[in-house]
Structure 1
Amino acid sequence: MGDRSQMHRVLIVNGGLGGAEGNTGRILRIAEKHLSGQFEIEWCHLKTVRNVEERFDLCRRASGFIIGTGTYWSSCSSLLQEFLEQATETEGSEMWL
């Protein structure tokens, strides 16, 4: 394991409607296993983290993102769509840079 004080933080955003126990959550846990020794990992399950500011705080702390969602009628989940719409006001801000 690397020195956590110098590790970059990756935020895994689970936009799947099944939350942590759904198919998207399962796939994202596989990604976490591959990254856990190289990065500090934080999670945001959009199904359970409903507060916008809490979501944004998680994003601000992250150096990178992995975003997962199922596909529903050839689109992303309503949870991910809602999050992206809420985040529109932060485009180009320090939150993403």
Structure 2
Amino acid sequence: MEVLHDGKYPLLKRYIKDLHRASSVSGFETKPGKLEMIEKVVYYLGQPQGGAAQVKLNLKGMQQAAPGLAASLAAVPGANRATTEADWAAVLKAADPR
């Protein structure tokens, strides 16, 4: 995991790679196809009491994952327009200083 923001509520980034066999449909039969590697990124917001909750990088998702931080997040200018991990690292730095 990569730490994007280190504070009371850390923002974590996890890379997931999964092998998936694609199926090939031809007429009435399905044949196993080639192996495909699917890569995706999942974000987590750590909790002060321990554990972490999976989040989407939007204001509503962050507020649901951290109810104690919800008012502070809404008060940060530009938090409702933040969409990238760099945007959210900056928002959390302002709302959750160490």
TM-score in terms of structure 2 length = 0.28
Higher relative contact order (CA 8 A, sep 6+): 1
Q: Which has the higher strand share?
A: 2
TM-score in terms of structure 1 length = 0.28
Larger Rg: 2
